[in-house]
């Protein structure tokens, strides 16, 4: 087996998303039901917008698996955009006769402005359709394949929300035994908190933030166990595991924020 | 723009083929009709087998293009396997109840035997479905996108059959002016010969070989013009253009042969 | 020109460091004096240990440059380890007769323990010689080449210490005009502060921390200007500039810390 | 262990060659005497030019090895150019005062002309110093490291000259048992022939070609045994072993020729 690699594709309101995962060995059990729960988890979350209800994301395996077992060949996943019917003209692959009014107002903190200048387009839709949280759906699907493969080797990966706003983390978790943490409670919680108390406090803080027209930051924790010692390497900068994980995380649009927004705003004002 | 990269996926008798091409810039005109003629050309050829008639390959663009113009984002192409309906059980992605008899007889000169040993499977179908000429369809589709992009820069690429068996090459072509060669004649010829005389002689030789139950080798020529001087690089082994082109060509299964088959057969006999 | 890539090599107490930088175009003015100031800057810093005084790092260009101009070919830099004479036996490349006592006590927060287990060695020196801040010297040298190339395109890169411990950042910097900031003051400051007041406060805090046997965190800022809009890309996760920069930064050993050390210590205690 | 990668550097008449090999695991015995015989073999050959006598290439290991054992870290090899003393001014890394007359006559079949146009230089030396057979020295050194590693796994690699000019291959070799072939005879032969008879005939043909002011083509054979079944992969074009080997071989300048030189010459004449 070589190393795993993958490409994701698909616009936010295009026909759908595609991901090809190359490098998985022969013989791993894999079915759509190994992937779809992760897609559902991505769509959960207290206070998520309306689109999440439109789309019940489902992955269709189109290659690389036969009779429920991987073939060692590239795995294709298709995920339909269920709202596509409403976007056929605006997002038509083919040229159309109609005039579509361009989207022209770049949002701060997004790729909009840089993209417009780089591509020389006056229609933001040409940028925002790909620079979109929807793209992470394809990455979640690819990740579900990796997670399934790792589970065959006994490696488990779980995640939880450790903090939202001012709600503190649960102090009683034994960090030496993450496998004993109440992960079912996390999965059942609308905010992925590890106790009902924490969940309740988080929901309250979200409600209050929404009333005040603001948003909240937070901390999530991803835990893996049964991981062999020495993954990654200390010998060359681009093989270091922590640096690679950080790249993957920082590449998610919504994961970044600014600790001191007022300072950012001040800086932006100064620039204009 | 970064460099172009792509992944192909799909089994020979699975639901279809997929290719994601990443790295094309924004603003290139691209429609399915830029790709489909190359898929048809791949399916032509005098003496091709029955499958070629089943499948009229057509590419569907699923991402990366809006209103006929590339978005700079990854381009997905889907190509259905039209014969898929007949293979639903043998090649089912999901587990099935029925017992499918395994394919157990490895063909010499193929990946069959090495694949069976490597994967520990007794069903050759697990190997041959991917180690198949069908896979080149996805590469031809990816190549058509590259060709379209290059044509926007004025670069033209053409190919022809220079020799089949003992039929010699046409001597009268002016090598300094490939743009003046009769490429329409090549496209019209069942063997992609550049003159009717050459075509006729090639067809005769093929017919005769078929009668004798043997096959023929040949030479094809790929020509590009308006190419900027200095593509590739002499400074590091893995940036040399001739070496990269050779890798791409040798990665095509059918392109390799053995000049002295009797010697090969003798060697194989010696091993067993 | 393709993309730039580089490999660094060299143990902390071996004969020296080597870096090969591949991908720079032909025609860039480059001499050792373009690289050495960056090596010196790396060796500065208030309160740095004794080794920094031993080594005045100097880069020797061994390839890729002719008459002060890059050739487009790979550039080799050698940086001697000036202390090598004292390490000839402990770090001998060749087998030696003497018994060298192994280093056996892994340091927390380092690659020591994981490395020992991964490699099955009982001598930590086999790990720590490469997992060392010394390795960054080679990266600084590679970075100096990149910086020189970028400066030919008008792109400027500067850095400063924005915070150390509780000393706040200077509030009066105009974020819209980094080119006007007093960079000479930064270069002259032992802590790379942008004003003498800030520098004085930082030095005091460092002295006080040292007396208390503890260390301090901080924030550094790297600023670039004249950068073209749209570097990186929003279209695929592994082309995003912020994520790539983060990987590069997190790959530096000393750059990572733990906001809540007492919690970390508690966790570690819980594990043992 | 990840995959092996390496960068080579060094001009033909510069201070020397450097190669960094990254990805070798910890614990492989490696000393200069594992590398130098391969460098000597590269310098052998009946009828090689004068330079081969000047340079007795010797590799110095500068990193990645301690006490004769690899550390898992990048391995640096330096190979001095022994003729460097005579080239200090022409190939000075630093700017010089003297005027060096440029080399202005591009050789057919070389990178000279394309390089001059690409780089916009009128001094061919800026191209030919890197586009030179000398560069393969660094690759041979890197290959010697790989060969040593493979030999630890029981894999053996040997090569011989199968044909030169019209001298036929030895018919009596048992292709099923390459380990029994007389490899010592090959190493002793000035043309790396496998029998004295074949060697004598080849030497005669070379002498005769030299007298006639022409050159000869040939065929070499590289054989490996104890190789595990299934190296490479059939699942994606860029993982196919035959294609990767071909890229590596075709990237060697001298390995390519033209079967029908008169036709090439005719074509070139037609172009001008």
Profile chain C (272 residues) by mean pLDDT over runs of 10 residues: 86 97 98 97 78 77 98 98 92 94 92 96 97 96 98 97 94 88 95 95 95 91 95 96 96 78 53 50
- Nearest by CB to residue B256, choosing from D175, D242, D247, is D242
Strands across the sheet containing A65-66: A26-29, A69-71, A65-66
Q: How many CA atoms lie within 13 A of A116 on its CB side?
A: 15
Name the DSSP letter for residue C187.
Answer: H
CB atoms within 10 A of CB A14: 27
Please tell me the distance from the alpha carbon of residue A78 to that of residue A68, in angstroms, as a whole number: 17
| Cβ contact, residue pair D7, C9, below 8 Å | no
| Cβ contact, residue pair A22, D236, below 8 Å | yes
Question: Which pLDDT does position D175 carry in this prediction?
Answer: 83
**Helices B241-250 and D241-250, axial angle in degrees (round to 10):** 160
End-to-end CA distance of chain A: give it in Å, rounded.
53
- Nearest by CB to residue D130, choosing from B234, B238, B252, is B234
CA separation (Å) from C6 to A136, A238, A251, C77, D92?
A: 30, 10, 23, 11, 23
pLDDT over 80 (residue B193): yes
| Cβ contact, residue pair B130, A75, below 8 Å | no
Please tell me the distance from the alpha carbon of residue C64 to that of residue C72, in angstroms, as a whole number: 7
- State the nearest Cα–Cα gap between C1 and chain B, in angstroms: 9
Rounded to the nearest angstrom, the gap between the alpha carbon of residue C22 and the centroid of all alpha carbons in its chain is: 20
- Nearest by CB to residue A72, choosing from D22, D72, D235, is D235
Give chain B positions within 8 Å (CB) of C27.
none
End-to-end CA distance of chain B: give it in Å, rounded.
53
Tokens of B99: 């017992």
pLDDT over 90 (residue D161): yes
**For testing contact with chain A, the best of B63, B68, B122, B129 (most A CBs within 10 A):** B63
Determine whether D105 is exposed, middle or buried from the number of CB atoms within 10 Å of its CB (0-12, 13-18, 19+). Answer: exposed
Give chain D positions within 8 Å (CB) of C74.
7-10
Q: Does C81 touch chain D (CB under 8 A)?
A: no
| Cβ contact, residue pair A2, D239, below 8 Å | yes
Q: Does A179 touch chain C (CB under 8 A)?
A: no
| φ/ψ (deg, to 5) at C14 | -85, -170
Average pLDDT over chain D, rounded to an integer = 91
- State the nearest Cα–Cα gap between B67 and chain D, in angstroms: 31
Strand partners, D50: none
Give chain D positions within 8 Å (CB) of A239.
2
Q: How many CA atoms lie within 13 A of B53 on its CB side?
A: 5
| Cβ contact, residue pair C74, B235, below 8 Å | yes
Nearest residue of chain B to residue C64 (CA atoms): B235
pLDDT over 80 (residue D181): yes
Among A132, A105, A96, CA closest to A254: A132
Question: Which pLDDT does position D59 carry in this prediction?
Answer: 98
CB atoms within 10 A of CB C105: 8
Q: Does B235 touch chain C (CB under 8 A)?
A: yes
CB atoms within 10 A of CB C92: 17
Please tell me the distance from the alpha carbon of residue D95 to that of residue B32, in angstroms, as a whole number: 55
The runs of H, that is alpha helices, within chain D are 36-43, 51-54, 112-119, 125-128, 136-152, 183-188, 196-211, 241-250, 261-271
| Range of lowest pLDDT (B27-41, D29-43, D125-139, D254-268) | D254-268
pLDDT, mean of residues D138-161 = 97
- Host H or E run for residue C164: strand C156-164
pLDDT digits (tens, 9 = 90+) for D189-225: 999 999 999 999 999 999 999 999 888 989 999 999 9
Question: Which pLDDT does position C151 carry in this prediction?
Answer: 97
Average pLDDT over chain C, rounded to an integer = 91
Q: Which residues of chain A have pLDDT under 50?
A: 1, 272
Please tell me the distance from the alpha carbon of residue D66 to that of residue D151, in angstroms, as a whole number: 20
Strand partners, B6: B21
Please tell me the distance from the alpha carbon of residue B146 to that of residue B248, in angstroms, as a whole number: 14
pLDDT, mean of residues B137-144 = 98
pLDDT over 50 (residue D1): no
Q: Does D76 touch chain C (CB under 8 A)?
A: yes
pLDDT, mean of residues D156-178 = 92
A188: left (phi over 0), alpha (psi -120 to 50) or beta: alpha
Q: How many CA atoms lie within 13 A of D170 on its CB side?
A: 23
Q: Does B72 touch chain C (CB under 8 A)?
A: yes
Dihedral angle of Cα B173, B176, B178, B181, to the nearest 10 degrees: -40
D contact chains, 3+ CB pairs < 8 A: A, B, C
Question: Which pLDDT does position A1 carry in this prediction?
Answer: 44
Q: Does D234 touch chain B (CB under 8 A)?
A: yes
| Cβ contact, residue pair D236, A3, below 8 Å | no
Please tell me the distance from the alpha carbon of residue D134 to that of residue C155, in angstroms, as a whole number: 36
* Residue corresponding to tokens 């330096």: D78
Please tell me the distance from the alpha carbon of residue A26 to that of residue A65, in angstroms, as a whole number: 9
Give chain C positions within 8 Å (CB) of A235.
130-131
3-state secondary structure of D167: strand
Question: Which pLDDT does position A44 carry in this prediction?
Answer: 86
Among A115, A134, A103, CA closest to A12: A134
pLDDT, mean of residues B118-138 = 96
| Cβ contact, residue pair B26, A65, below 8 Å | no
Three-state SS string over chain A comes to CCCCEEEEECCCCCCEEEEEEECCCEEEECCHHHCHHHHHHHHCCCCCCCHHHHCCCCEEEEECEECCEEECCCEEEEEECCCHHHHCCCCCCCCCCCCCCCCCCCCCCCCHHHHHHHHCCCCCHHHHCCCCCCHHHHHHHHHHHHHHHHHHCCCEEEEEEEEECCECCCCCCCCCCHHHCCHHHHHHCCCCCCCHHHHHHHHHHHHHHHHCCCCCCEEEEEEEECCCCCCCCCCCHHHCHHHHHHHHHHCCHHHCCCCCHHHHHHHHHHHC
| Cβ contact, residue pair A176, C271, below 8 Å | yes
- State the nearest Cα–Cα gap between A74 and chain D, in angstroms: 7
**Are D267 and B176 a contacting pair, CB within 8 Å?**
yes
Given pLDDT bands bounded at 50, 70 and 90, which one contains residue B48? low
Q: Does B117 touch chain A (CB under 8 A)?
A: no
Among B40, B1, B50, CA closest to B22: B1
Please tell me the distance from the alpha carbon of residue C148 to that of residue C72, in angstroms, as a whole number: 14
Nearest residue of chain C to residue B71 (CA atoms): C235
| Cβ contact, residue pair B74, A9, below 8 Å | yes
- Nearest by CB to residue A229, choosing from C118, C131, C240, is C118
**Are C167 and C46 a contacting pair, CB within 8 Å?**
no
Among C237, C233, C236, C205, CA closest to C218: C205
Give chain B positions within 8 Å (CB) of C2.
3, 233, 239
Give chain C positions within 8 Å (CB) of D122.
none
Task: List all residues of chain A from 27 to 46 with a beta carbon under 8 Å from chain B.
Answer: 27, 31-32
* Residue corresponding to tokens 């805090």: C205
**Are C34 and C14 a contacting pair, CB within 8 Å?**
no
D124: left (phi over 0), alpha (psi -120 to 50) or beta: alpha
- State the nearest Cα–Cα gap between C2 and chain D, in angstroms: 14
Please tell me the distance from the alpha carbon of residue D117 to that of residue D124, in angstroms, as a whole number: 10
| Cβ contact, residue pair C174, A270, below 8 Å | yes
Residues 6+ apart with CB under 8 A from A34: A144, A145, A148
| Cβ contact, residue pair D235, A3, below 8 Å | no
**Are C219 and A263 a contacting pair, CB within 8 Å?**
no
Give chain D positions within 8 Å (CB) of C100.
67
**Helices B135-152 and B36-43, axial angle in degrees (round to 10):** 130
**Helices A135-152 and A36-43, axial angle in degrees (round to 10):** 130
ipTM value, please give it. 0.93
| Cβ contact, residue pair B66, A130, below 8 Å | no
A contact chains, 3+ CB pairs < 8 A: B, C, D
Question: Which pLDDT does position D257 carry in this prediction?
Answer: 72
- Nearest by CB to residue D7, choosing from C22, C62, C94, is C22
pLDDT digits (tens, 9 = 90+) for D81-123: 999 999 989 999 999 999 999 999 999 889 999 999 999 999 9
- Nearest by CB to residue B7, choosing from A22, A65, A91, is A22
C219: left (phi over 0), alpha (psi -120 to 50) or beta: beta
**For testing contact with chain A, the best of B2, B3, B7 (most A CBs within 10 A):** B7
Please tell me the distance from the alpha carbon of residue A190 to that of residue A44, in angstroms, as a whole number: 7
Give chain D positions within 8 Å (CB) of A72.
233, 235
Give chain A positions within 8 Å (CB) of D71.
235
Please tell me the distance from the alpha carbon of residue A176 to that of residue A163, in angstroms, as a whole number: 20
Strand partners, B19: B8, B77
Tokens of D141: 């050194």
Question: Which pLDDT does position B176 carry in this prediction?
Answer: 84
Strand partners, D17: D79
Question: Which pLDDT does position B254 carry in this prediction?
Answer: 86
Please tell me the distance from the alpha carbon of residue C148 to that of residue C156, in angstroms, as a whole number: 9
């Amino acid at each position: 087996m070589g190393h795993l690699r993958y490409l994701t594709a698909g616009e936010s309101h295009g026909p759908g998303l595609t991901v090809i995962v190359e490098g998985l060995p022969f013989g791993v059990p894999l079915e759509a039901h190994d992937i779809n729960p992760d897609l559902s988890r991505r769509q959960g979350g207290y206070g998520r917008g309306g689109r999440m209800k439109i789309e019940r994301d489902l992955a269709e395996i189109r290659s690389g698996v036969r009779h429920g077992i991987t073939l060692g060949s590239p795995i294709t996943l298709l995920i339909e955009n269920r709202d596509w019917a409403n976007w056929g003209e605006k997002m038509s692959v083919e040229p159309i006769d109609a005039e579509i009014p361009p989207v022209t107002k770049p949002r701060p903190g997004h790729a909009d402005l840089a993209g417009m200048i780089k591509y020389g387009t006056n229609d933001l839709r040409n940028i925002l359709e790909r620079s979109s949280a929807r793209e992470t759906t394809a990455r979640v699907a690819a990740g579900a394949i990796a997670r399934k493969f790792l589970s065959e080797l006994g490696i488990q990966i779980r995640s939880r929300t450790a903090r939202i706003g001012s709600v503190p983390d649960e102090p009683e978790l034994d960090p030496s035994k993450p496998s004993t943490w109440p992960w079912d409670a996390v999965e059942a919680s609308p905010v992925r908190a590890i106790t009902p108390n924490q969940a309740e406090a988080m929901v309250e803080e979200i409600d209050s933030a929404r009333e005040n027209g603001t948003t909240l930051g937070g901390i999530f924790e991803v835990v893996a166990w049964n991981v062999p010692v020495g993954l990654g390497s200390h010998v060359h900068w681009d093989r270091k595991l922590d640096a690679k994980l950080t790249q993957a995380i920082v590449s998610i649009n919504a994961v970044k924020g600014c600790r001191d927004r007022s300072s950012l705003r001040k800086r932006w004002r100064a620039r204009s």
